Amino acid sequence: MSTPVNPKTFDAETYGPWALIVGGSEGVGAEIAFRLADRGVSSVLVARKTGPLEETAEAVRARGVDCRIVPVDLTEPGATATIAEACEGLDLGLLVLNAGANTYGCEFVEADMAQVQKVIDLNITSPMQIIRQFGPGLTARGRGGIVVMGSMAGYLGHADMSIYSAAKAFSRVFVEGLWLEMREHGVDVVEVILGVTRTPAMIRAGLDMDLPGMTVSEPAEVAEEVLASIGAGPVHVCGGEGNRKGVEFSSGVDRGRIVAGAHKRMKALRGN
Ligand SMILES: NC(=O)c1ccc[n+]([C@@H]2O[C@H](COP(=O)([O-])OP(=O)(O)OC[C@H]3O[C@@H](n4cnc5c(N)ncnc54)[C@H](OP(=O)(O)O)[C@@H]3O)[C@@H](O)[C@H]2O)c1
C-alpha cells in the first residue's frame, strides 16, 4: 500500500478532542477509532448491534481515551436526533461517515422499493443529515474534518447493484461540493474511495476476496491511510496504484466499452 500525499499531518488539536464515527463498531470504523485513541482523540461510535459497539468501546477506552456508543439504525427516522443527543456537550472535531456497504442486490425492474430506499437512506440521506447536524459546529470552530467512505463502485454502473453504485457516485460529487464550501471555513472534507476491503461485513456476506488479480486491503491499513488523507480532499483513492488505475479506467468517456468491459471482467473473475 502506498502512503498518500498529505498536505497536513494528523493533528489532534484540529480533529479532536472528540470524533463521531458512524459505522464505528467493527472493520475500518473500529480501526479508525483505535488510531484516533492512540493520538489522544475520544470517539462516539454509532452502529446497530450493541455487542460489537460495547466491545470496541472497551478496546478504545483501554487506549486511554473516552468513548461513547450509540446503538441506532441509520435508516430509521430520528437516527440523527438520537446521535445528536448522545453528542450533546462534546467538542467534535471529526466526522467519519463509514457505514454504507451494499445491503441489496437485485435486477432493478424486479426490485423491492423498500430495500432500494434503505440503500439510499444509508448512503445518501443519513450522511447528509449528519453533516447538516454537525457541520455548523465545525465551521464555528474554524477547524476540523469530515471523512465520507466512498467506493470504486461509484465510478461506473453495476448490474444488480445499480442503486449502490449510483449512491456512491452521488456521495463523491456531493463531497466535492462540500469540500469547496467547507475549506472556506477551515474544515477539511474528503471522500475516501475504498476498493475491496476485508471487513467483517464483507466476510459475513461471503464475498470471495481471493480472486486472481483482485487487490484486497485490510481494515487496519485502510484506517491508517484514512487518517493520513483527511487533508488530501476532495477525493482520495485508497489502496495504492492498482485502485488508482481502476478509478482512472472507470472514469473514461467511452462509457459503453468501460461499463460492459468491467462487467464482463467481473463475471469472468467470478466464473459465471
Ligand atoms: N468492504 C469493502 O470491500 C468496501 C469496498 C468499497 C467501499 N466500502 C465502503 O466502506 C464502508 C464500510 O463498509 P463495511 O464493509 O465495513 O460494511 P458496513 O456494513 O458499512 O459496516 C460498517 C459499520 O457500519 C455499521 N452499520 C451498517 N449499517 C448500519 C445501519 N443501517 N445503521 C447503523 N450502523 C450501520 C456496522 O455495524 P452494524 O452492522 O452493527 O450496524 C459497522 O460498524 C461502506 O461505506 C462501504 O460502502 C467497503
26 Cβ closer than 6 Å to some ligand 1 atom: yes
Protein residue with least CA distance to atom 39, ligand 1: 48
Q: Are 219 and 28 in contact (CB under 8 A)?
A: yes
Q: Are 79 and 48 in contact (CB under 8 A)?
A: no
pTM value > 0.85: yes
Q: Please give the grid coordinates belonging to residue 262.
A: 468491467
Q: Are 109 and 159 in contact (CB under 8 A)?
A: no
From 119, 163, 199, 238, the mutation candidate for ligand 1 (largest count of ligand atoms within 8 A of CB) is 199
239 Cβ closer than 6 Å to some ligand 1 atom: no
Spell out the per-residue pLDDT of the chain, length 272, in tens: 444 444 457 899 999 999 999 999 999 999 999 999 999 999 999 999 999 999 999 999 999 999 999 999 999 999 999 999 999 999 999 999 999 999 999 999 999 999 999 999 999 999 999 999 999 999 999 999 999 999 999 999 999 999 999 999 999 999 999 999 999 999 999 999 999 999 999 999 888 887 777 889 999 999 999 999 999 999 999 999 999 999 999 999 999 999 999 999 888 777 76
In sequence order, which ranges of the chain are alpha helices (DSSP H)? 12-15, 27-38, 50-61, 79-86, 113-120, 126-141, 162-183, 200-204, 219-229, 241-250, 255-270
Domain 12-207+215-239 fold is Rossmann fold (3.40.50)
Gap between the Cα atoms of 38 and 172, Å rounded? 29
For residue 149, give the H/E element and its range.
strand 144-151
Nearest to 84 by CA among 16, 120, 137, 121: 137
